[in-house]
């Protein structure tokens, strides 16, 4: 008599987390982002989707609304916009997290501008930048609201040898794996390519 046992296979995605940008903790400069988009170009070292990003910012004395923007360097097209965040006023520099409800995709080896933007207020909102020979911070003056597409940084507002401190976290897909389960036995891992049969 041939007996059939239930074999349950769950195919699950395998993912890893990576990041790109600059996470330097010690900063000594500021780039004003009140009604002004300020960012720097960074090359993605992984292909995947951005889940969140962090910027070192200073929003002194007045709470403001902020967004992070991502543009493709080659054609300045808009790739992603973070969810809006109301940043509580503080005299201290903070690491502010930004999330993306619609996760933008990035490609390994491609350069992107990671930029910050906030609404105008009584005092200056800034994203921190650091000295770094050969890098640059670029800006576009624009009233806070709907992000531009494409990004149009003004040449004379380019700040040489500095870069903004923003880094983005990327979820990278590295394939799939499976879990096999037969009643009465411990689950075992299934790998694509295995031959399955019944008993």
Find how far residue 2's CA is from the centre of its chain: 55
Taking the C-alpha atoms of residue 55 and residue 166, their distance in angstroms, rounded to an integer, is 4
Taking the C-alpha atoms of residue 60 and residue 57, their distance in angstroms, rounded to an integer, is 9
pLDDT of residue 184: 53
Do 112 and 4 meet the contact criterion of CB atoms below 8 Å apart? no
pLDDT of residue 94: 84
- pLDDT means over runs of 10, the chain (199 residues): 44 61 72 87 91 86 88 96 90 88 94 92 71 76 94 76 84 56 46 39
pLDDT of residue 190: 40
pLDDT of residue 125: 72
Going from N- to C-terminal start, the domains of the chain cover 18-173
Q: How many CA atoms lie within 13 A of 158 on its CB side?
A: 11
The closest of 74, 71, 155, 81 to 113, measured between CA atoms, is: 71
pLDDT of residue 121: 75
Tell me the three state secondary structure of residue 30.
Answer: strand
CATH level 3 topology of 18-173: Jelly Rolls (2.60.120)
């Amino acid at each position: 008599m041939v007996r059939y046992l239930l074999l349950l296979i769950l195919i699950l995605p395998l993912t890893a987390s990576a990041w790109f940008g600059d996470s330097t903790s010690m900063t000594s400069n500021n780039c004003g982002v009140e009604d002004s988009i300020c960012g720097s170009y960074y090359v993605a070292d992984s292909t995947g989707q951005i889940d969140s990003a962090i910027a070192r910012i200073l929003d002194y004395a007045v709470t403001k609304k902020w967004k992070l923007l991502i543009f493709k360097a080659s054609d300045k097209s808009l790739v992603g916009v973070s969810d809006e965040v109301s940043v509580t006023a503080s005299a201290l520099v903070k690491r502010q997290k930004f999330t993306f409800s619609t996760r933008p995709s990035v490609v390994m080896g491609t350069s992107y501008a990671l930029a910050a933007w906030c609404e105008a207020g009584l005092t200056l909102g800034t994203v921190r930048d650091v000295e770094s020979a050969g890098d640059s911070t670029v800006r576009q003056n624009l009233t806070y609201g709907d992000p531009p597409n494409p990004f149009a940084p003004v040449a004379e507002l380019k700040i040489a040898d500095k870069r903004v401190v923003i880094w983005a976290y990327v979820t990278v897909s590295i394939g799939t794996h499976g879990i096999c389960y037969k009643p009465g036995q411990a689950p075992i891992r299934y790998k694509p390519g295995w031959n399955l049969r019944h008993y």
